[in-house]
Amino acid sequence: MLEVREPSLLRYSWQDEDGGEVTEVAYRLEPHGSGTRFTYDHTGFTGAGGFFMAKILGSVRTKMLTTGLPAVLNDLDGQGTLRPENP
């Protein structure tokens, strides 16, 4: 964990289980108009291997942000708490 500022920032370092290079992941929330802007960054990729890894992870990030995250947000109640699962 590199930095936490509740509720606006979560920043941590990441290294895959094979001991690859250390990268940094950051999630940020900031007021934007009448809502909230969410920013996700995963940085620190270097060299040709880093270029290809960033490209591969790009599709994973896109799916996470366009499919996974909206599904979770839809399961939150008005207070930001996950609703209990339907029986």
The predicted structure's pLDDT at residue 49: 83
The sheet that has 9-14: what strands, in order across it?
Answer: 3-5, 9-14, 23-32, 35-43
Q: Which residues of the chain fall below pLDDT 50? A: 86-87
pLDDT at 39: 92
pTM for this predicted structure: 0.69
Instruction: Give the pLDDT of residue 54.
Output: 82
Handedness of CA 48, 66, 13, 10 (dihedral sign): positive
Name the token pair of 55: 């490209």
pLDDT for res 55: 85
Residue with tokens 């999630």: 27
pLDDT of residue 4: 97
Return the pLDDT at 82: 86
